[in-house]
Amino acid sequence: MTRVYVGMSGGVDSSLTAALLVEQGYDVTGVYMKNWSQDLPGMRCPWAEDLADAKRVAVQLGIDFKVFDFEKEYKQHVVDYMIDEYQAGRTPNPDIMCNQEVKFKLFLHAALSDGADMIATGHYARTENGVLMRAKDSQKDQTYFLYRVTKDALEQTLFPLGNYTKAEVRTMAKERGLYTAAKKESMGVCFVGAVGMREFLSQYVTTRPGDIIDKLTGNILGRHDGAIFFTLGQRHGLDIGGGLPYYVVGKNMDKNEVYVSTQLHDEAMWRKELELGLAHWIGEEPSAGEYDVRVRHRAPLVSGLLAKTQDGFHIIMSEAQRAATAGQSVVIYRGDECMGGGILQG
């Protein structure tokens, strides 16, 4: 019997994942990954409640349950990386780094070393012989977050939810009476629950006030509490009153200045050509040609011409994309196959 270690976060998706694998005849062990337990001012980290919920489901299913403590490695590979990127003025995606470094590297290796044959998670994605495929539910598809996972890891991973919609998952969880069937999805920073990015970063970086400047006129419109907190296309949190809404169209980290405009079609907000670095391909590196491109999770897929350059890859998209920001991931698809992607350069 195939032994599968299921990453159980205490949510409905991973709970149903474990239930389905039990029903399919696998020897299932639930594993809670303790990645982060630190409280923040005014916000208690929900890890203990999530652990308790995962345990309750494991008891319901009659499966073994373990806790793997990756907190030290998580801080180093995910949290420190994210803070460094924001301090450099870029916009990283910690979920992608978590999948690359923790769930499909640390967890996989620890599970295999502990006697597992495979691992499984509640991600909405599909695999076929190490090929990563988009999920049935296009609104929940999570292949964008998985593009940096290796082919070897995918060959040893099960994604039981890939052929279901979120609504179907909720219904199936309720039908099985799973404790987490009605549990709400966590929002905010991936590892600290409902707290926002600004609140999180405030605990780790030293910031200073600076000017908010109208890009067109050069006029100072207001003050901000740190350029690190603002990202391209942002509208809320500027506290600039009156008239048309302002959007962030740029920032200078050295001068600690944030530039804004009322022009939604400001050229700084739209990019048709992208430069990618730190590329990762799940299978073979794609040859030059036309592919589908996604510049952020849930952004529409758009056609783009991919070409290799001396420093990485260049993409010319069929239509300009709004607020494509340095540090974000750009993911490449061929039909339903997620081929990989890279990090958007400045």
Q: Write out the H or E segment, with its range, that includes residue 307.
A: strand 302-308
In this structure, what are the phi and psi dihedrals at residue 197, rounded to the nearest 5 degrees? -65, -40
How is residue 25 annotated by DSSP? T
* Closest C-alpha among 18, 53, 97, 300 to residue 186: 53
Task: Confirm whether 190 is a catalytic residue.
Answer: yes
What is the distance between the alpha carbons of residues 165 and 194, in angstroms, rounded to a whole number?
Answer: 24
> Which residue do the tokens 């939810």 mark?
161
160 token code pair: 């039981």
What is the distance between the alpha carbons of residues 217 and 227, in angstroms, rounded to a whole number?
Answer: 20
Measured from the Cβ of residue 49, the count of other Cβ atoms closer than 10 Å reads 13
CA 308 from centre of chain: 25
Contacts of residue 286, defined as CB under 8 A and 6 or more positions apart, other chains included, come to: 306, 332, 334, 339, 340
Cβ atoms of 119 and 215 within 8 Å: the answer is no
333, exposed or middle or buried, with CB in 10 Å at 0-12, 13-18, 19+?
Answer: buried
- List 190, 227, 260, 282, catalytic entry: 190
Task: Confirm whether 338 is a catalytic residue.
Answer: no
Cβ atoms of 8 and 54 within 8 Å: the answer is yes
- List 58, 96, 98, 132, catalytic entry: 98
What is the distance between the alpha carbons of residues 19 and 127, in angstroms, rounded to a whole number?
Answer: 19
What is the distance between the alpha carbons of residues 273 and 271, in angstroms, rounded to a whole number?
Answer: 6
| CA geometry: angle 131, 326, 240, nearest 5 deg | 130
What residues are annotated to the active site? 98, 190
